Structure 1
Amino acid sequence: MAAEFVVLTAETFAPHVGASFQVEGGRHVLSLSRVELFQSEPGHGRPDFQPFVLIFSGPPGDVLAEGVHTMKVDDGTAYDLYLIPIHTPEPGRQDYQALFN
């Protein structure tokens, strides 16, 4: 039986801001710092979808590799997200983004 496809939106993740996400099969735990909405370029994308980005924070030094990771919230909900480590000017943490456009 095929899994049901669910469209993820900024509203899907808004309740999880500040929550910890365990990277399945790994040692990393990241916190969802914020959900940012942005406008797509005119003529691109779907008019019924608002592009957004998730910003996660984790400890510095032990950088999680770019790629698809299954991220589990404390309530057991899991999401497969393509995470990219991003430049983090603030000391003491490493940020990651997952872009939905």
Structure 2
Amino acid sequence: MAEPLKAENFLPHVDKVFRVQGGSHALTLVKVEMQGLEAANSVPRQPFNLIFAGPPGNVLNEGLYRVEVEDGPHFELYVMPVHTPMPDRQNYQAAFN
């Protein structure tokens, strides 16, 4: 079984573009939010969120997607659009518990 993904897997990719395989969406990873809680020994990872920004309008539906980092690896992520008060973009979140 593969190791669970951790925040550290994504930190080198902040400000990089993640392209949704089989689609036209390109999302920029803008932030890795770590919850700041100490993980218990029995928990495989600390919870964290990935925050992406994409263009406004053509909103990517919530769902499981294979995304590829420019010049980097690919990941399977469950991505959901979130309320975005700025009119010039649409934010998305991928949560890891």
Structure-1-length-normalised TM-score: 0.86
Corresponding residue of 2:79: 83
Corresponding residue of 2:20: 23
Structure 2 residue 32 is the aligned partner of structure 1 residue 35: yes
Instruction: Show structure 2 runs of 5+ residues with no match.
Output: none
Shift in Å, 1:91: 1.4
Query: Contact between 2:81 and 2:92, CA under 8 Å: does it hold in 1?
Result: yes
Corresponding residue of 2:63: 67
Runs of 4+ aligned residues of structure 1 deviating over 6 Å after TM superposition are none
Q: What does the per-residue CA deviation read over 1:8-46, in whole Å, with 9 as the maximum and x for residues that have no partner? A: 100000000000011000000000010001156x98x72
Structure 2 residue 47 is the aligned partner of structure 1 residue 51: yes
Distance in 1 (alpha carbons) for counterparts of 2:9 and 2:83: 25
SS in 2 for 1:36: strand
Structure-2-length-normalised TM-score: 0.90
| Amino acid paired to 1:52 | F
Distance in 2 (alpha carbons) for counterparts of 1:26 and 1:90: 24
RMSD: 2.1
